[in-house]
Amino acid sequence: LKPSRLLHDYVITFNHNPFTLQSNMAENKKKCRQYNQVFSNEAMKPLRLQEHLSKKHPDKASKDSAYFQSLRDQRSRRPTINTMFTRSVNQTESGLVASYNIALLIAKAGLPFTAISTVMQRDPAPVTKAIPLSNDSVALRIREMSMDTEQQLCATLRGCRFSIQLDETTTADNNVLLMAYVRYVSGRDLLEDFLFGEYLATDTRGETIFAALTEFLRERDIPVTNIIACATDGAPAMVGRYRGFATLLKQQVPQVLTVHCVLHRHNLVAKKMSPSLHQSLDVAVKAINKIKADALNDQLFRQLCGDNDEAFKRLLLHTEVRWLSKGNCLTRLCELFPSVIEFLDQADATLKAKLWSCRHDIFYLSDFFGKMNEVTLKLQGDGMMLVHSKATICSFLAKLELYQQNLGRRQFINFPQLAKVGF
């Protein structure tokens, strides 16, 4: 079939003319680069194009081909609707990725969602214009990343065996929080992850803890039989013979291995001390509470520390649940001991006399609890296994013998706080 009409092809040798090729569906049309006038097929003859150039653009007739090529390049670089939308989408995607990265940093640092307004040292308006960093946006990003992380972890646990560690604690607002950690093998790596943290609505009995765990696993289609080991503390709710969590778990998974947490066992042993040291510790706690429990005493004590040019102005309280906080508590008391004695001389002379009489025990306990804190930190962390824990404990027991020998020779190199008061 013959075409209805002949179309003149655009020849690149005519590039010295101020015309450009335009693609229009199946046709190729020529267009004036100066006024964007589209020519018909008949007008695309070289003579007609030359006539258009001499009559419409006489000032451009003497220009060389480089000039017209620059016009073509300028036209090709002009923003179009497609390029503007593409650039906007790319900026939006880049801003979204940056928003997620910033939200992840805020979550890892444990900062409030509004931290971005205080972290940036310059006006954040030009930056935040393209990056969603509002309070709600950061909270949403953290929730989305948390949900995605949980989904990936649950998908992994559905197809592998894992061990689990459970611990329940009471928060400052008297709510009971149950936390679960898992350890599993991925490829050739041994990984540890936080599985969940949920508040218990009623009590902390073994049945309640077991029901919370099984409900979480059931909702996420994780078989309970995938649990091969479980580590707990020695509380009756965990290791009770009839209704403890470990007993209920063994009823569903008979082959599961239950172990007593090495860290908790280490804490229980360190809690036992001689009556004289325990009495001295009680005196130290009473002295701290005398100052911290009363707002006026706390304010006056801060003023006294400022007058004495102390490095710190506040004492630290401890909690019985996290008993190793006594180490930090006693260390701060030893640092401020002269100011504490001076303050109690006016506030409570009897307590001041008791505190002064047992100062050697208090400074000794400060050093001892500090060393216990160091061991506790070594027993924690990713990749810690029974072999490593046993090595840490055995090493510490060997050091205790050395400490005892040095104290017998009145060498306080291992007890810097006790060395301040001497004997």
pLDDT in tens, the chain (423 residues): 444 454 444 444 444 445 544 444 334 455 554 555 666 666 666 777 677 767 677 766 667 667 767 766 666 666 665 555 455 445 456 667 777 777 787 777 777 766 666 655 555 556 556 566 677 777 888 888 888 989 999 999 999 999 998 888 777 777 888 899 999 988 888 888 999 988 888 888 888 888 999 999 999 999 999 999 988 876 777 777 778 888 888 988 899 888 877 666 556 555 667 888 888 888 998 999 899 888 899 999 999 999 998 888 888 876 654 555 667 888 899 999 999 999 999 889 999 999 999 999 999 989 988 888 888 888 777 777 778 888 888 898 899 889 989 888 888 888 988 888 866
Q: How far is CA 131 from CA 40, 69, 353, in A?
A: 49, 39, 62
Calpha distance 412→420 (Å, rounded): 9
Sorted by where each starts, the structural domains of the chain and their CATH numbers stand as: 12-76 (no CATH), 87-150 (no CATH), 161-260 (3.30.420.40), 270-421 (no CATH)
Taking a C-beta distance cutoff of 8 angstroms, is the pair 319, 325 a contact? yes
Q: In 158-294, which ranges are continuous DSSP H helix?
A: 206-219, 236-239, 245-252, 262-271, 275-292
Q: Using CA of residue 410, residue 412, residue 415, residue 418, what is the dihedral sign?
A: positive
DSSP 165: E
C-alpha Rg value of the chain to the nearest Å: 38
pTM for the model stands at: 0.57
